[in-house]
Amino acid sequence: MTPPSVFASYPSLAGKVVLISGGAQGIGAASVEIFALQGARVAFLDLTDEPALALVDDLTPRVPHAPLYVHCDLTDIPALQSAIGEISTILGPPQILINNAASDDRHSFAEVTPEYWDQRMAVNLRHQFFAAQAVAPGMKSAGSGSIINMSSISWLIPSASLAVYNMAKAAIVAMTRSLSHELGPSNIRVNAVLPGAILTEKQRRLYMSADYEQHLFTVQCLKRHILPDEVARLLLFLASDDSSAITNQSHVIDGGWI
């Protein structure tokens, strides 16, 4: 990650309780780090304990408030609600929610079963709604809040072998627009972020072939990889008071692909 001193700092984030789902790796881990470096009190949810605990160990001596990791299967909504309750007891009610967790597993249209459909929607869409529902009362009591839902440009391209994932990511934009009107009277802002091909470790390991990289640099305006911390810096702005009038919007960060 580029040293944070090079970039903007957001005093309004200091001490804020930030909840990030899927925070152990990729964009989620970059977000945990960058919010913690701003002085926020960060809690994150994930299933992968080893990278999550390694992230906590790495950050603890470097940030004002050590991140809080809570193991949670986001497809289990009662467990998600319980985890958010636990975080609220320890740190206070989340004032910022980053609905990040997702899985872009490739799949054949012809082979999708009802069971696979339901499982993918649980992984990529359902938990975002119920996490927002769980944090909203605390945000209403505080008089403000920022919810950021991670979508994707995949449904705008569109991408092959991702039909169910694309539908979930499109639905996140619709959800964002609905919740921004639902929660706006309580001064809670709701925005969506639509990343392109972000060079996470998973992307590099599974999908970043030489042919795909060549295609990427053909379709993007910027002829380079977009990194997870670049997405995280956009999240910082949308979470901070600097964006206090921005809600009901979809923010694309893709190097100019679409």
The 3-state DSSP class for residue 143 equals coil
Could you tell me where the beta strands, DSSP code E, fall in the chain?
A: 17-21, 41-46, 68-71, 96-99, 145-150, 188-195, 250-253
Measured in degrees and rounded to the nearest 5, phi and psi for residue 153 equal -80, -5
**226: DSSP letter:** B
Is residue 220 within 8 A of residue 115, CB to CB? The reply is: no
Hey, what's the torsion of the CAs at 137, 41, 189, 200, to 10 degrees?
Answer: -120
Cα separation, 168 vs 180, whole angstroms: 18
Cα distances from 24 to residues 63, 153, 156, in angstroms, run 17, 22, 27
Cα separation, 34 vs 229, whole angstroms: 8
Q: Which among 10, 69, 165, 212 is annotated as catalytic?
A: 165
For the question of residue 165 being annotated catalytic, the response is yes
Is residue 30 within 8 A of residue 229, CB to CB? The reply is: yes
Cα–Cα–Cα angle for 176, 72, 237, rounded to 5 degrees: 40
The 3-state DSSP class for residue 68 equals strand
The residues carrying an active-site annotation are: 165
